[in-house]
Structure 1
Amino acid sequence: MISLRLFLLILTTLVCREIAGNTPNTMLMAAMLATAGITLGMGLLFKASALTLLMTTPADEPNFGVRDERLQRIRGGLEAAWVMLLPAALLLTGWGAWLNSLEQSHLPQFIAMLGWFLPSLCLILLIELTAAQFDELTTPPSLQSPNDWQTHFRIRLRLGEIPGLVTCLTPVLAIALFSDIGHWTLGEEHSGIVLALLTVLSLGLVLSSVPLWLGKWLGTSPAKCPKLLERFMQYRSGLRMPQLQLLTIGGDGRWNGAAIVGWLPRWRQLWLGEDLIADLDDEQLDMVMMHEFAHVTRRHFWWRSLPIVGAGLAMLLTFTLGHAWFSTVAVDAGPASNSIQAGALPGGILAPLPLIKLLGCTTAVLALLLGLSTAARVCELDADREACHLAVLHCSWAQGEPARAAARLSQALVAILADSAATQRATWLHPSLTKRLENLARLSA
């Protein structure tokens, strides 16, 4: 759900916020219009690309999947270009400097943070709108899909990139909101310890509530198949996960996955796509559930959090050393240090202290991306192996037959991922289908 492009979008925005100055060099209205113009221009570019794709490909039914895959590639390229354009949209236009200036003038940090992400949110909404109109014009009647773009738009808002963006932004906005509350209730002089406690409290609330509100957004509902529920309850009892809930998602042809959602056991849920349940037989579905159970038994949630903690500590260390260095330079330089700190670059960027922050942010981001990708891929392969072990222990049809469990999981992966070349390739957080099948083949040997 959270693609590399989306993750980079959020990180780039936060880095821009750190390095932006607070001395605008443009009028507020001009900064707003410039940022809105860049956003709208990217949205129109995607619409023009979609129209060109419609005019250059036949409208017959067999090419529906080809057109849709081409549009996804165009979308991926445009979103990658947007990430690279973000510094221009947020800094060179003066929008970021105005946000920081207004925040220093007692604008709530929560509202200022929303302002930083508003251009990206608007662009994604424009892209989803164009994609929904594209769906209306290209979906064959034989697929029995709704024929109005408004319905397609609602489906894309529910199952597209908006949930992923909101999921990533919720902790950031929660920390900003609790920081504002701390300023209002404790005053400007409250200690760093209080701020740390408020941050921990906000993250705790987010981690406990995300499965609830995200499930409502995606349209989850309790599983209705008695046979599936009976097997799930049996496995849940054997694995000692009494509070785990089984929910299904109506994918409307757009989600046929499975996922364990929730960091804390009390609010943890297993989500299965209704399309997935329809496409797999009982043994294959058992192996998909065992794979998700393995993420819990092997504590992959915490392993995946280590790169985040490490990147945060690296950024904190860089900022601390940077401030200590600048303080030393300021003492030696005397009054000249003010001019060093206030040396304005285009868009209100300050030097050299923000450049130190930029270096720290860049290093932390690179370490974070590499760490998250490595940890996620290793965890996926480990979950595949552990799923076979759990199946031997808890599935009556797999007792004493680990090779059969591995074969059934391999068949399930092929059924889920073999529809297109895009789903078979390695992604930021998942190894390739070939790699996973080779991993399972070693258990069958």
Structure 2
Amino acid sequence: MTLYIFLLVIVSLMCGSAPANGDLSVRCVWATLAMLSGWIILGHVSARWMARQVLRGEVEFNVAANGLRSQLDIFRWFALPIVIMCLYGFSLSAYSRAQPVIQSSMFLQAIVLLSPGFSLLVSTWSAEYYFAVAVGTQPRRLGGYLSAMTRMFRSGPAWLIVPTLTVMAAGDLLQQVQVRSESWDHWIGDAIVSWLPAMLLVIGSLVVFALPWLVRWLAKTEPIDGSTESEIRCWLRRCGFSTHWLFGMQVARWDTGGRMLNAMVAGVIRPGRLLLMSDRLLDELPRGQRMLVVMHELAHVKRWHVPLRMAAILPAWFVSSYCGEFLIEYGWFDETVGAAIGAVSGLVTTIVCLGLVSHFCELDADAVACRLAVRASRRTETETEVGVGAASALDSPVLSRMPEAEMTIEMAAELMADALVRVTADHPASRKVSWLHPSLATRVGRLRRISYPLPDQRAEGHTWAL
């Protein structure tokens, strides 16, 4: 998740409590549509202008593509003030809350709030596809266009928008149950109200349990080939993770169309964890580097980094609440301005705290991954007792044909550094420091401290580098 996607969603939802700016009427809807339409047309005009320069031979394709990408990045960031203008300046948020169908539903309100920002984001994807069609690198087909838009949604904002809307829909459901229970018999209504927390817990558990299936749909997964999957499952078991088909961690191949070289673990608790490995990661990375990437993701689970990042958001709630109340109580600002300043303070606190915690988690996961790699490379006592042949059957046909060399922490650190360099090779921007990740130089530098001095047998000649 990029900082831009996070800000786009959070800023849109924060405008949900924005007061009306003048009289409420349907004109705010028409003003929003006019603003969005003009911005969308402007993005496509820019794409067409770049494409015409390429077709005339005035600019090379790579130069035009990079120029268009830079322009659309500017368009995306300008979408944030446009969203605020539509929701607050035009009073679209207040107008939607006044509608009878929407005012009692958090789910529908969230859809209205997210619509302007999401429309502008999709328009930039559409402009990129329009440019590709104009220069002849993509077919002019509606199916191809819809497939490209769906793929971009799945790989980006879907990871934040879909869970948010799911939680709000569950909240609406419970609210409707509570409201309707008041019209039922007295004892039935009291029973439902008393069981409401338990119902909320059950629904939350079902959402967590169904998370792997939801992620499989979002990420477009497919099975991993037998030998590779057996080897990965063996690594998981050696590191203490269950691979039970229902209660253990599942493994799947992430079909990104050859665009991503990455891995991730979806889910906070088990059951409900899914290890996703992208197609390029499985097809291009050597066995040892692939192992360290898997260990890095397992380290996030072992060290509870996801709950830690979630806890990093809590200070923002206190800052936002107390800052706004303090400014309003002492009469420095009126209620509207004080609430806005409190919201901005909370947003800044969230960005800072979550960024610092995320940097720590990434560096910690790199170090822990090296120790996990040593465990994953050693046969367990059960495998040793049943013999080499049976152990090879537990692992994979690949392991049965290869002599096992002892993995050391130094060797694992060297392989981890090599994997980071390879994973970021096609995306120079990912090598720079970002909101949620340290720079490649920082991560590799810390790993080099572990791997130096290296053993006599270098990583390039080690069995795990094959």
Counterpart of 1:215 in structure 2 is: 216
- Hey, what does 2:364 align to over in structure 1? 382
Quote the residue 1:231 is aligned against. 231
Who wins on radius of gyration, i.e. which is larger? 2
Q: Is the 8 A contact 1:133 1:149 kept in 2?
A: no
Q: CA deviation at 1:68?
A: 3.9
In the TM superposition, what are the counterparts of 1:107-186 in structure 2 within 5 Å? 107-138=104-135, 147-161=139-153, 164-186=156-178
Partner deviation per Cα, 1:154-210 (whole Å, 9 max, x = no partner): 443343245543332334434443443344333399999999888777665544434
1:289 alignment partner AA: V
Matched to 2:341, the amino acid is L
Structure-1 residue corresponding to 2:338? 356
Higher helix residue share: 1
Q: Is the 2:239–2:375 contact (alpha carbons within 8 Å) kept by the matching residues of 1?
A: no
TM-superposition CA deviations, 1:50-104 (whole Å, max 9, x none): 22332345789x9655544443322221111011222211122221220122269
Give the AA of the match of 1:85.
I
- Structure 2 distance, partners of 1:196, 1:42, is 45
Corresponding residue of 1:399: 406
1:86 alignment counterpart: 83
- Deviates further, 271-280 or 194-203: 194-203
The separation in 1 between residues aligned to 2:82 and 2:5, in whole angstroms, is: 14
Question: Aligned pair in 2 of structure 1 residues 424, 151: CA closer, same or farther (>3 Å)?
Answer: farther
1:268 to partner: Cα distance:
0.5
Does structure 2 conserve the Cα–Cα contact (< 8 Å) formed by 1:39 and 1:120? no
Checking the alignment, whether the CA contact within 8 Å between 1:135 and 1:152 is kept in structure 2 is no
8 Å contact 1:391–1:398 — kept in the other structure? no
Tell which deviates more after alignment, 379-388 or 199-208.
199-208
Q: Distance in 1 between matches of 2:298 and 2:408?
A: 19
- Going from structure 1 to structure 2, the CA distance change for 1:218 and 1:361 (only over 3 Å counts) comes to same
| Aligned pairs, number | 411
- 1:309 is displaced (CA, Å) by 2.3
In structure 1, C-alpha distance between the alignment counterparts of 2:260 and 2:87, rounded to whole Å: 33
Structure 1 residues 226-283: Cα deviation after superposition (integer angstroms, max 9, x where no partner): 3311221111111221111111122213222111111122110111111121111111
Structure 1 residues 238-387: aligned runs within 5 Å: 238-242=238-242, 243-318=248-323, 325=329, 352-387=334-369
**Counterpart secondary structure, 2:313:** helix
Segments of 5+ residues of structure 1 without an aligned counterpart are: 141-145, 330-350
1:32 CA displacement? 1.0
Give the corresponding residue for 1:336. none
Find 2:440's aligned residue among 421, 429, 433. 433
Q: How far 1:134 sits from its partner (Å)?
A: 2.4
Which protein, 1 or 2, shows the higher relative CO under an 8 Å CA cutoff with sep ≥ 6?
1
Once residues 38 and 196 of structure 2 are traced to their aligned partners in structure 1, the CA distance between those partners, rounded to angstroms, is 40
Mapped to 2, the partners of 1:233 and 1:385 lie a distance apart of 22
Change (3 A) 1:401 1:66: farther
The CA distance in 1 between the partners of 2:258 and 2:102, in whole Å, is 49
Q: 1:79 to 1:103 in 2, by over 3 A?
A: farther
Q: Distance in 1 between matches of 2:148 and 2:351?
A: 27
8 Å CA contact 2:50–2:131 kept in 1: the answer is no
Aligned-partner Cα distance in 2 for 1:59–1:197? 66
CA offset digits 1:112-150 (Å, max 9, x no partner):
22111112222223222222232334575xxxxx63454
Q: Distance in 1 between matches of 2:365 and 2:249?
A: 18
Are 1:175 and 1:202, in contact at CA under 8 Å, matched by a contact in 2?
no
Fraction of identical pairs, as percent: 21
- 1:4 CA displacement: 0.8
Distance in 2 between the 1:206 and 1:263 partners?
11
Please give the root-mean-square deviation of Cα atoms over the aligned residues, in Å. 3.3
Taking a change above 3 Å as real, the CA distance of residues 127 and 394 of structure 1, as seen in their structure-2 partners, is same
Task: Tell me the equivalent position of 1:415.
Answer: 422
Partners of 2:136 and 2:421 in 1: CA distance: 25
CA distance in 1, matches of 2:229, 2:358: 29
- Contact 1:291–1:386 (Cα < 8 Å) also in 2: yes
Tell me which residue corresponds to 1:332: none
Distance 1:130 1:436 in 2: 35
Gap change, CA 1:36 and 1:201, over 3 Å in 2: farther
In 1, the alpha carbon distance for the partners of 2:73 and 2:353 equals 23
Change (3 A) 1:426 1:111: same
Deviations 1:335-380 (A, max 9, x none): xxxxxxxxxxxxxxxx822323222211111111111111112111
CA positional deviation for 1:322:
7.5
| 3-state DSSP of counterpart to 1:254 | coil
**1:95 equivalent in structure 2:** 92
Distance 1:280 1:185, change over 3 A: closer
TM-score (norm 2): 0.78
Name the SS of the counterpart of 1:259 in structure 2: strand
Q: List runs of 5+ in structure 2 lacking aligned partners.
A: 183-188, 243-247, 379-403, 453-466
